[in-house]
Amino acid sequence: MATNIKRIGVLTGGGDCAGLNAVIRAVVRSAVGEHQIEVFGIEDGFLGLIEDRVHPLTVADTADIMTRGGTILGTTNRVSPRQFVTGYDADGTPQFIDVTDRVLTHIKQHQLDGLVAIGGDGTMSECARLAGHGVRCVGVPKTIDNDIMHTDVTFGFQTAVEIATEALDRIHTTAASHHRVMIVETMGRHAGWLALHAGIASGADVILLPEIPYDFEVIRRSCEERAKVGKSFTIMAVAEGAHPRGGEVIVDTLIAESPDPVRLGGVSTVIAQQINELSHLECRNTILGHVQRGGAPCAFDRVLATTLGHAAVDLVIAGQWNHMVAVQEGMITSAGIADVAGQQRTVPTDGPRIAAARAVGTCMGDSFERRW
């Protein structure tokens, strides 16, 4: 298809995940190879557009990056052009200014006809906002949380599931040896896809998700009843966003300068303390943290990332700006970025995964039922 697009920019925004480099590779090779469009790489997400760190990205630059974790472009989830930190008050409160004009100037100076923005909800929200200033973006959804609206899956998720599943499998043997309750805490702030999939894959006895507020008494009873019927250990997969019924999430850090300031972590520590204090069982917890985002992408994510990167260039060529590539019911489709921004795709509590988990005897933290 003939196109008047001569040059595009590509950036990675938000928290990293496995597969980002595979998308960058596919974008560059599809744009250059199929359409003779030049690609410029933007360093550290929107920060690179603010600070004018924008450079040509060639096919040669994308050699040998498919299997590499992280992003060769760098990323940040602390910066929005609308809310750029210029300094701090005496009490440490950040001072912000809007530097959107710098972004627009640098896009113009580098003659970028549009951007491919690889990121999560924050990145899509920024693209939706910049669209109001005439910036043309195509989005590619990424997050290990798998919670972006209007796509059934995001790359990075499956790799994180594999990592969390391996951790749970390893915890299994030490739990059995010591006759302990062992908790593995995964990432997943608003959505529990990662804890649910890794929990099912590893046969966890208890899975706790943000979508199903838990009752500690149900968890305690579930662990104790297992002990009573001769199961000497219990494995729990817990999303960082899990919280008790009527209670709050556990906040680990507040990053004042970030447009998305809340970082969670530690719910497994709280539950482990409660089990140690309120039952006769012994409990330990492991918080997996950023190990879930690092390292080489699994084969599924390499294929998905390559397909989405190529599909993003197709949207550029079709002039379908301000859309995000997506996977819906097995097909590569797209969704309006404005419809994606500011939303989360949570686990449906009446969906087949949770039904299957309950059917095989997993306690979901809301009710206890001894099936056998």
Enzyme catalytic residues:
145
Distance in Å, CB of 263 to ligand F6P, minimum = 5
CB 198 within 8 A of CB 280: no
Q: Which is nearer to ligand F6P, 31 or 212 (CB)?
A: 212
CB 254 within 8 A of CB 261: yes
C-beta nearest to ligand F6P: residue: 187
Q: Which is nearer to ligand F6P, 241 or 244 (CB)?
A: 241
Give every CB contact of residue 89 below 8 A, 6+ residues apart in sequence. 95
Q: Give me 27's structure tokens.
A: 């974008």
Give pairs for 351-355: CB < 8 Å, separation 24+: 353/196, 353/197, 353/200, 354/196, 354/212
Q: Which is nearer to ligand F6P, 84 or 233 (CB)?
A: 84
Distance in Å, CB of 236 to ligand F6P, minimum = 18
Distance in Å, CB of 271 to ligand F6P, minimum = 18
Q: Give me 15's structure tokens.
A: 């928290």
- Measured distance CA(26)–CA(301) in Å, rounded: 13
CB 362 within 8 A of CB 199: yes
Amino acid found at 273? Q
Q: Could you give phi then psi for residue 174, rounded to 5 degrees? A: -75, -35
Q: Would residue 166 be called left, alpha or beta, if left means φ above 0 and alpha means ψ between -120 and 50 degrees? A: alpha
- Measured distance CA(26)–CA(23) in Å, rounded: 5
Q: Which is nearer to ligand F6P, 213 or 266 (CB)?
A: 266
Distance in Å, CB of 205 to ligand F6P, minimum = 23
CB 156 within 8 A of CB 17: yes
Q: Which is nearer to ligand F6P, 29 or 263 (CB)?
A: 263
Distance in Å, CB of 151 to ligand F6P, minimum = 15
Q: Using CB under 6 A, list all residues that contact ligand F6P.
A: 15, 77, 120, 143-145, 187-189, 240, 263-264, 293
Q: Would residue 237 be called left, alpha or beta, if left means φ above 0 and alpha means ψ between -120 and 50 degrees? A: beta
Q: Which is nearer to ligand F6P, 251 or 355 (CB)?
A: 251
Nearest Cα to 234, choosing from 180, 159, 314? 180
Q: Which is nearer to ligand F6P, 298 or 317 (CB)?
A: 298
By DSSP bridging, strand 283-287 and strand 181-186 are parallel
E strand map for 233-350 = 234-239, 251-254, 262-264, 283-287, 323-328, 331-336
